[in-house]
Structure formats: C-alpha cells, structure tokens
C-alpha cells in the first residue's frame, strides 16, 4: 500500500494526536507521519477514511508532542474533528487499548501473540484467545404524562450539565431489565412501556450505548 493513501490515528493513552488549526483538528497524513518519526507500537488497520487506509497506533508515553500538534481526548474533539474521522477514531482507540491490555494471558500470564488471520491475541501456552470486547450500556429518556423529562446529574459533571439515566448491563440481565434497574437505583422511579430507540458506539473506553424511551409509572 502506498504511503500517500494512509492516515493515522495515534494515541497516547486515550488522547489522539492531532494538528490544531483554529477551531478545527486534523489527522496527520502519510507524509507528515513519516516526517514526524515518532516512536509507536505496531500499527493496526482499522478501516478506510475517504478512500485512504486508516491505521491506529499507540505512542510512546514519554514522546514529546510535535510542534503545532496536540494530544486531545475524543470527548473534547467532538465538533473539531470531522464526524466521519471522529467515529473512526472511536474504533481506533478501542483497538489500540485492547491490544495494549492483552499482551499477557489473563489465565496463565504467558505473553500472547497477535493472529494474522483475525483480530485476536492467542496464548501459546494454554490456548486462550482474546478478542476485542464491548461493554453494553443503556441510556434512557424517561417522560411522564405531562410531557416532562427526567434528568439527573453526577457529582463529577461541570455546573449546569444534566443527563438522562444511563448505566452498564449486568450479567444475566436483559437490556430492558437493566433500564428498569438503573433508573430505580439512581432515582427511585418505576417505569412502564420501555422501548428500544437506537444504539451508538461509545468508546469511553469500550462500550456500546443502547438507547431506550420509557414512561414514568411511579416513585
């Protein structure tokens, strides 16, 4: 593959390396990436961005930030990086983090090996395979018969920010059961008519956010 047909998602932890141009952010292209000469982990092909092959890499934690560039978390890049690139960056950061966190087998501690035919790491000692995993989470818009929406806020939110109710699905639960439990636990409200709305990748760090609507039933 020719170098001019590539773009790079380079992460130090959860932060993406971007070039800042006023209120926008752009990814380093092939020529710029080659000129930077950065110390990086093995690259992962994560898809295609407007006809260019897209690669994800983890950067050396001690790497100095190149002049004119910055390391910024994906939440803060929303609206600055174009939407197509932002969505692919969410996939890229999850693959980099998965690869970094599964260098050793969780069963026996042996170094794992990347597989050439699929995205997995395998333990050569006990044979345990490690694939990228998602943590399903639910988020719910609860309304009452008067047209009011239920909002809450966490202590770590910045002032003035509220959210609909969200939480992770526990083992043995259906999605609807997770919705009812999370709302009950967080605000003491019972629900009726829980209905699926839509889903969205949520790379903070490795979730699939599954949206629902529901109606207030009591509490």
Q: Summarize pLDDT for 63-107 with one digit per residue, the tens.
A: 888 888 999 999 999 999 999 999 999 999 999 999 999 999 999
Half-sphere exposure of 74 toward its Cβ, with a 13 Å CA cutoff? Answer: 24
Task: Evaluate the CA torsion angle 194, 195, 201, 206 in order and state its sign.
Answer: positive
Which of 51, 79, 101 represents a domain boundary (last residue)? 101
Domain housing 126: 103-132
Split into its structural domains, the chain has a count of 3
Per the listing, tokens 């197509």 go with 84
Segment 158-188, tens digit of pLDDT: 899 999 999 999 999 999 999 999 999 999 9
Residue range 31-52: mean pLDDT, rounded:
85
Whether residue 109 is found in the same domain as residue 140:
no
**Does 39 score more than 80 pLDDT?**
no
pLDDT of amino acid 56:
94
**Does 152 score more than 50 pLDDT?**
yes
Whether residue 117 is found in the same domain as residue 75:
no
pLDDT of amino acid 3:
40
- C-alpha span between 55 and 27 (Å, rounded): 11
By C-alpha distance, which of 81, 195, 178 is closest to 138? 178
Mean of pLDDT over the chain? 92
Whether residue 83 is found in the same domain as residue 52:
yes
Which of 111, 132, 153 represents a domain boundary (last residue)? 132
Helix (H, G, I), strand (E, B) or coil at 165: strand
Tallying the residues shown for the chain, one arrives at 219
Segment 186-207, tens digit of pLDDT: 999 999 999 999 999 999 889 9
Whether residue 24 is found in the same domain as residue 82:
yes
Whether residue 107 is found in the same domain as residue 168:
no
User: In whole angstroms, how far apart are CA 140 and each of 14, 60, 67, 146, 152?
Assistant: 26, 39, 43, 18, 11
Segment 108-150, tens digit of pLDDT: 999 999 999 999 999 999 999 999 999 999 999 999 999 999 9
Per the listing, tokens 């380093």 go with 28
- C-alpha span between 170 and 207 (Å, rounded): 13
- C-alpha span between 215 and 207 (Å, rounded): 25
Residue 206 has φ and ψ, to the nearest 5°, of -155, 50
Whether residue 71 is found in the same domain as residue 56:
yes
State the pTM of this model: 0.85
């Amino acid at each position: 593959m020719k170098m001019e047909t590539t773009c790079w998602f380079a992460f130090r932890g959860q932060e993406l390396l971007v070039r800042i141009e006023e209120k926008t952010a752009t990814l380093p292209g092939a020529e710029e990436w080659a000129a930077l000469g950065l110390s990086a982990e093995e690259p992962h092909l994560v898809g295609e961005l407007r006809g260019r092959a897209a690669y994800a890499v983890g950067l050396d934690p001690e790497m100095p930030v190149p002049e004119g560039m910055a390391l910024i978390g994906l939440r803060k890049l929303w609206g600055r990086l174009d939407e197509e690139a932002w969505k692919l960056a969410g996939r890229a950061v999850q693959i980099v983090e998965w690869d970094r966190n599964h260098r050793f087998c969780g069963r026996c501690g042996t170094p794992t090996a990347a597989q050439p035919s699929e995205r997995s790491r395998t333990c050569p000692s006990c044979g345990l395979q490690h694939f990228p995993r998602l943590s399903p989470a639910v988020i719910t818009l609860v309304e009452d018969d008067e047209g009011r929406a239920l909002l809450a806020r966490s202590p770590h939110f910045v002032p003035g920010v509220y959210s609909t109710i969200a939480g992770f699905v526990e083992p043995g639960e259906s999605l609807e059961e997770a919705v009812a439990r999370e709302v009950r636990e967080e605000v003491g409200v019972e629900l009726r008519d829980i209905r699926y709305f839509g889903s969205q990748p949520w790379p903070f760090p490795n979730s699939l956010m599954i949206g629902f609507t529901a109606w207030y039933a009591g509490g």
